[in-house]
Amino acid sequence: AFPKRVKVVEVGPRDGLQNEKNVVPTPVKINLINMLSETGLQVIEATSFVSPKWVPQMADHTEVMQGINKLPGVSYPVLTPNLKGFQAAVAAGAKEVSIFGAASELFTKKNINCSIEESLERFDEVMTAARAASIPVRGYVSCVLGCPYEGKISAAKVAEVSKKMYSMGCYEISLGDTIGIGTPGSMKEMLTAVMKEVPVGALAVHCHDTYGQALANILVALQMGVSVVDASVAGLGGCPYAQGASGNVATEDLVYMLNGLGIHTGVDLQKLMDTGTFICNALNRRTNSKVSQASCRL
Amino acid sequence: ESQASGLPEYIKIVEVGPRDGLQNEKVIVPTDIKIELINRLSKTGLPAIEVTSFVSSKWVPQMADHKEVMRGIERHPGVQYPVLTPNLQGFHSAIAAGATEVSVFGAASESFSKMNINCSIEESIEKFEEVAKSARNMNIPVRGYVSCALGCPYEGNIIPAKVAEVSKRLYSMGCYEISLGDTIGVGTPGSMKRMLEAVMKEIPLSALAVHCHDTYGQALANILTAIQMGVAVVDSSVAGLGGCPYAKGATGNVATEDVIYMLNGLGINTGVNLCAVMEAGNFICAALNKKTNSKVAQASFNNGTI
């Protein structure tokens, strides 16, 4: 049986834009987030408090955070890779933050130049500060169904890292198929292992559609009781590990499927599509959402 | 309760790229390219490849070279090469050209039937019965398609009972397999499940196939739902050839590569070599001067790894 309600976590403005080539002006980012706020989405990942040296797209994090309309009932989490980022985020008005772990040692080394253990120690500082400020923290685990460097990732390792992040105080763990190579088979195996350590109510899936498997993988996760799904409007965000390939699953296509299953999301699909049209025009690119492509009468 | 156990051990992939795929591509493909494509597909392990359509070239110019294609392809042992035959005339022409399996196309929507082949569902069934009768006399297997199984571009919602009714008519006249087509790709796992439940009351599971279009990105999720219910035959098109004639610019058929990738990941045997299919896809896309619709192909060729 499927969950009756699913919480859709919109990651377009952060994960999506971060993986788009064109740098988007601040007013466009703000308008994107404001439009998303009107669609009924409950969670919109707004930006990332990382050094602009590493992620130029997110250099305007403070302006974006301060510039957006914050609708009551909508959460605007931001990425905070370390204590410094956390403090900047809170100063800019953030009320929820996210931290990014990984189930692969090599990925962690290449991505943030330390081991998994060391990254968790850094996050501990953030957790302590967040707890003191009553700020909820969402934890991400990358490479849960495979790693661009290590290849296969054991389900047990994913469960281990998830458990650690949950025990540290993350209220939710988003399991990311970072390079989209997972299939319903590997998704099931991974979730079975993780669900032994973390309650299903605290789990989310973050599927990439690089191999076209995202909706099938999400379907399996839903069948196993997961009720939080990450997605990106218009499928923004390519895959940095496979040139020209797609990345995030499109929110429109996800909502279309959930609607068809009679699962409540609270999201207005038409408004979502309109938002996708807006940001694609601003980026001068075609949408990655098939629902949008099919619905467009151009 | 595990949803994934109870999956078939083997799934037959029916490759429809050379017919359904090319028929819905704008560029007319030269005969020798069609033959080359089919010959390459024959070497991938695919058990069934829909070759062409014996319809009037006035209606479907892309398939005007049906005789030449049928006669020109290599016929690999163990591979079926079905062709579409909308009526008795087409059937005879197909047999004369060497066809050893044919397909007929019904629809679960009266409006679609009228718009597509200018007759009611009942009238079309009568035509197919003529074909089925001749085919039976000649020991030629007939595959039946039911279009608009999850929705119609004209009528919108299609009730599962209607799909079951049309499927039953085709099965009763002697079709060995019924391929249920989500013609405009509007279906979701919810509507797929309801439709299959209705059809499975009338047709044995082993005689069912699903033909999903990816116009709304739902194809793999819909196929997964079908195979979880025990369906073991899946239609697909190399490189996702074939756009949707009802939504300009939108995609159509699900890509064979993406289906095989999913089935491989589920440990389901198909007998098909994914790399070989990708190479065939690469070939036809170059010939058509277009990008592949297969995400697996996009990710693999750009990555340099497969």
| Distance from the B301 Cα atom to the nearest Cα atom in chain A, whole angstroms | 9
Distance CA A181, CA A239 (A): 11
What ipTM is given for this predicted complex?
Answer: 0.93
pLDDT of residue B302: 61
Query: Nearest-CA residue of chain A relative to B244?
Result: A294
Considering the candidates A143, A147, A207, A239, report the single residue annotated as catalytic: A239
Query: Nearest-CA residue of chain A relative to B252?
Result: A294
In single-letter form, the type of residue at position B40 comes to R
Residues in A closer than 8 angstroms to B295, CB to CB, are: 209-212, 245-246
Contact B251 A293 (CB under 8 A): yes
Ranges of chain A with pLDDT below 70: 297-298
DSSP string of B82-136?
-EE--SHHHHHHHHHTT-S-EEEEEES-HHHHHHHHSS-HHHHHHHHHHHHHHHH
Residues in B closer than 8 angstroms to A280, CB to CB, are: none
Nearest to B295 among A211, A220, A298 (CB): A211
Helix (H) or strand (E) holding A60: none
Q: In chain B, what are the domain boundaries?
A: 12-302
**Stretch B8-35: mean pLDDT:** 95
Nearest CA to A283 out of A233, A247, A230 is that of: A233
Here the contacts of A265-273 (C-beta below 8 Å, separation 24 or greater) are A265/A5, A265/A6, A265/A7, A265/A8, A265/A40, A266/A40, A266/A41, A266/A42, A267/A8, A267/A39, A267/A40, A267/A41, A268/A39, A268/A40, A271/A35, A271/A38, A271/A39, A271/A40, A272/A36, A272/A39, A272/A41, A272/A233
Contact B262 A253 (CB under 8 A): no
DSSP B80: B
Q: pTM for the complete prediction?
A: 0.95
Distance CA B178, CA B243 (A): 23
Nearest to B215 among A185, A219, A294 (CB): A294
| Distance from the A123 Cα atom to the nearest Cα atom in chain B, whole angstroms | 32
Nearest to A184 among B244, B258, B265 (CB): B265
Contact A184 B302 (CB under 8 A): no
Looking at the DSSP bridge assignments, the partners of residue B133 are none
The domains of chain A, with CATH numbers, are 7-295 (3.20.20.70)
| Distance from the A163 Cα atom to the nearest Cα atom in chain B, whole angstroms | 23
CB pairs under 8 A between A and B: 126
pLDDT of B135-171, one tens digit each? Answer: 999 999 999 999 999 999 999 999 999 999 999 999 9
**Catalytic site includes residue A239:** yes
pLDDT of B60-107, one tens digit each? Answer: 999 999 999 999 999 999 999 999 999 999 999 999 999 999 999 999
Q: Which residues contact A58 (CB under 8 A, 6 or more apart)?
A: A14, A17, A18, A47, A48, A49, A50, A52
Nearest CA to A289 out of A232, A244, A241 is that of: A232
pLDDT of residue B249: 73
Looking at the DSSP bridge assignments, the partners of residue A48 are A79
The domain defined by B12-302 carries CATH number 3.20.20.70: yes
Choose, out of B3, B7, B218, B259, the residue to mutate when testing the contact with A (most A CBs < 10 Å): B218
Q: Which residues contact B195 (CB under 8 A, 6 or more apart)?
A: B149, B150, B160, B163, B180, B187
